[in-house]
Structure 1
Amino acid sequence: MPPSIPLPVQRALLKLGADLSLARRRRHVSQASLAERMGASLSTVRRMEKGDARVPIHFFARALHVFGELQALEHLLDTPKDEIGLALMDEQLPQRVRSKSRTPSGAL
């Protein structure tokens, strides 16, 4: 992996690759068959399973689609459940909300 990738990212990619490999083998699908079903090369599948950071994300999405697990990608950053984002938004809320006073027509 390129040295500029943070260690936690490297670990996550290695785990994702290992998980893809395990899912493929549990389904009794060869790397060549997965590659064909994904529209990818065999070397791409091998690189994915090794956790290669240079593999474009759309190949991971294609593999998830083949395995019937694409919803996992769709829910990775589920904004309604983004606790950090919601907490930051809540910090910006006003302390009080005042109603605008209405003045009668013609009055100041």
Structure 2
Amino acid sequence: MAERIGTSVNTVRRMEDGQPGTALQHFVRALQVFGELDKFEQLMDTAQDSVGLSLMDENLPQRIRTPRRRREPGAF
């Protein structure tokens, strides 16, 4: 596996153990080797990211004010 994705055996072991700090490119290459690259594309599709979308919704303003009307000169 390491040879097919162009990395060391230790990197593959770290990937299998789920250790943080492993470069994303190694996971992408492994998905390509297994013919599952479309899974990565789905993962990166922001329109399907329900967690990311809900976090973005939390940052939206809670209340939107309409702009004040300006009084025309001579009007009461």
TM-score normalised by L of structure 1: 0.45
Q: 1:53 matched to which residue of 2?
A: 20
Residue 39 (str. 1) matches residue 6 (str. 2):
yes
Task: Tell me which residue corresponds to 1:24.
Answer: none
The root-mean-square deviation of aligned C-alpha atoms, in Å, is: 2.2
Which residue is 1:85 aligned to?
53
How far the C-alpha of 1:72 sits from its partner, in A, is: 0.6
Shift of 1:61: 0.6
Q: List alignment gaps of at least 5 residues for structure 2.
A: 62-76
Query: For 2:2 and 2:22, how far apart are their aligned partners in 1?
Result: 13
**Which ranges of structure 1 fall in alignment gaps of 5 or more residues?**
1-33, 93-108
The aligned counterpart of 2:72 is none
1:72 aligns with 2:35: no
> CA offset at residue 78 of structure 1?
2.0
Higher RCO (C-alpha 8 Å, min separation 6): 1
Give 2:30's aligned residue.
63
Amino acid paired to 2:43: L
Letter in 1 for 2:46: T
1:80, distance to aligned residue in structure 2 (A): 2.7
CA deviation vs aligned residue, 1:52-89 (integer Å, no higher than 9, x gap): 1121111011111100011111111422334463883x
Q: Does the C-alpha gap of structure 1 residues 80 and 37 become closer, same or farther in structure 2, counting only changes over 3 Å?
A: same
Cα-to-partner distance string for 1:12-54 (whole Å, 9 max, x where unaligned): xxxxxxxxxxxxxxxxxxxxxx100000111111111111112
Q: Secondary structure at the match of 1:76?
A: helix
1:85 corresponds to which letter in structure 2? L
Identity of aligned residues (%): 46
